[in-house]
């Protein structure tokens, strides 16, 4: 496990345990720190507790033991404490049908900022910006219930963006999106992170986490099993299997190229995160080999 200290967590779960009313224990003594201003991906198999953790981060669920903290201060579960938490932390639910409930798309996106007590002009500006950011201009006047599932996901994301929270938590935001929309959404989440805001997503997609995240968290059966930079955490093939994931293709290629002697097996070499980075490494290796051949001849 990459044990490098996580700098300045903005959100933290400390020794959180939570069981649903039917007795299912979803989180077991779980401690997770979300680094401020970074892009974090939470991964793990079905039922490992990702959505349950996110519901704790937004104060919808309350730990039975342990604490959730924002900016180092434990969340207060009175009306003011929860209002403050939800102004600063926006959660996009895994299932958009849990989030969208008004008749049309514009009303739905306006609901959050209106509820925060914003002026009509500010609500309109926030909604217009969110609509542009998520590229749903063509959907704003449509009845929500007639949208496709992927369109509903984008509307649900717009509804949270419209409130301009400091921390955006999106539960499987790319599930059901087509590849073009997935790339656009990740670009949007990048721009949000570049503004210094914190973005947290859950996903089963290791390729996406590898290429996109600054920080990954691996869960299994409600406990933390790994955390750190993706190219470090995903190098541990045993850990990856334990999290019911697979090693990202780019890392598999890197490790096999090292095994075959086509890349130097230097333990301190930082593995590539993208195809371009792998190609750069291969090109650099080829240059060194050419140079050695010249010197040797
Ligand atoms: N309302 C509920 N009542 C009882 N058990 C629940 C409820 N919601 C979730 N669980 C259980 O809690 C555990 C954690 O579920 P959770 O939805 O947090 O997992 P997840 O990691 O988000 O899974 P997925 O990848 O399928 O979305 C699972 O065992 C699940 O069956
Ligand atoms: Mg889930």
Q: Give 91-141 pLDDT, tens digit per residue.
A: 999 998 888 877 899 999 999 999 989 999 999 999 999 999 999 999 999
The mean predicted confidence, pLDDT, of the chain is 91
pLDDT digits (tens, 9 = 90+) for 202-217: 999 999 999 999 999 9
DSSP label of 143: B
pLDDT tens digits, one per residue of 8-40: 799 999 999 999 999 999 999 999 999 999 999
Q: Which atom of ligand 1 is nearest to the CA of 24?
A: 5
In the chain, the DSSP E strands lie at: 9-19, 25-35, 39-43, 65-70, 73-74, 89-92, 167-171, 198-202, 215-220, 223-228
Give yes or no for a contact between 144 and 108, defined as CB atoms under 8 angstroms apart: yes
Report whether residue 149 contacts ligand 1, using a CB cutoff of 6 Å: no
Pocket test for ligand 1, best of 25, 42, 47, 53 (most atoms within 8 A of CB): 47
Strand partners, 218: 43, 226
Encoding tokens for residue 28? 């077991």
Distance 268 CA to ligand 2 centre (A): 35
Cβ count within 10 A of residue 267: 5
Give the ligand with the smallest distance to the CA of 219. Answer: 1
Q: Per-residue pLDDT for 287 more than 80?
A: no
The matching CATH number, chosen from 3.20.20.80, 3.40.50.300, 1.10.540.10, 1.10.150.20, for 9-246 is 3.40.50.300
- Give the contacts of 174 (CB within 8 A, at least 6 positions apart): 182, 185, 186, 201, 203, 205, 208
Q: For residue 5, with 0-12 CB atoms within 10 Å meaning exposed, 13-18 middle and 19 or more buried, which class applies? A: exposed
Query: What's residue 284's pLDDT?
Result: 84
Q: Within 13 Å of residue 131, how many CA atoms lie on the same side as its CB? A: 18
In which band, very low, low, confident or very high, does the pLDDT at 267 lie, cut at 50, 70 and 90? low
Q: Is residue 42 within 6 Å of ligand 1 at its C-beta?
A: no
Which tokens hold the place of 200?
């947290």
Task: Determine the 3-state secondary structure of 38 from DSSP.
Answer: coil
Q: What residues does each domain of the chain span?
A: 9-246, 248-297
**Alpha carbon distance 219, 45 (integer Å):** 8
Closest by Cα among 201, 192, 169 to 70: 169
CA angle 214, 220, 226 (to 5 degrees): 35
Dihedral pair phi/psi, residue 246, rounded to 5°: -125, 155
Q: Which of the residue ranges 47-56, 97-106, 178-187, 204-213 would you say has the lowest mean pLDDT? A: 97-106
In three-state secondary structure terms, 95 is coil
Rounded distance between C-alpha atoms, residue 216 and residue 226, angstroms: 8
pLDDT bin (cut points 50, 70, 90) of residue 265 is: confident
pLDDT at residue 11, as a whole number: 97
Please give all residues whose CB falls under 5 A of ion ligand 2, grouped by chain where several chains appear: 50-51, 94
pLDDT at 6 over 50: no
Does the beta carbon of 98 lie inside 6 Å of ligand 1? no
């Amino acid at each position: 496990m990459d044990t490098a200290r996580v700098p300045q967590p903005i959100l933290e779960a400390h020794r959180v345990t939570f069981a649903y009313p039917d007795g299912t224990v979803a989180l077991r003594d779980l401690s997770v720190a979300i680094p401020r201003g970074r892009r974090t991906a939470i991964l793990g198999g079905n039922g490992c507790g990702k959505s349950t953790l996110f519901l704790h981060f937004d104060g919808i669920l309350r730990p039975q033991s342990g604490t959730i903290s924002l900016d180092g201060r434990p969340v207060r579960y009175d009306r003011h404490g929860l209002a403050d938490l939800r102004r600063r932390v926006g959660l996009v639910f895994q299932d958009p049908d849990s989030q969208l409930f008004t008749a049309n798309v514009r009303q739905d996106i306006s609901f959050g900022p209106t509820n925060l007590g914003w002026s009509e002009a500010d609500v309109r500006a926030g909604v217009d910006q969110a609509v542009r950011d998520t590229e749903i201009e063509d959907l704003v006047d449509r009845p929500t219930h007639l949208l496709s599932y992927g369109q509903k996901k984008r509307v649900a994301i717009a509804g949270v963006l419209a409130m301009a929270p400091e921390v955006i938590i999106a539960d499987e935001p790319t599930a059901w999106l087509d590849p073009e929309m997935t790339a656009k959404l990740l670009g949007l989440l990048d721009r949000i992170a570049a503004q210094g805001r914190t973005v947290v997503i859950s996903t089963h997609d290791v390729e996406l986490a590898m290429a996109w995240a600054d920080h990954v968290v691996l869960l299994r059966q409600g406990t933390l099993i790994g955390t750190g930079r993706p190219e470090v955490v995903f190098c541990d093939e045993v850990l990856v299997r334990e999290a019911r994931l697979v090693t990202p293709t780019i890392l598999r290629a890197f490790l096999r190229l090292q095994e075959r002697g086509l890349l130097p097996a230097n333990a301190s070499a930082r593995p590539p995160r993208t195809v371009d980075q792998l190609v750069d490494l291969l090109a650099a290796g080829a240059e060194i080999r050419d140079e050695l051949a010249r010197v040797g001849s």
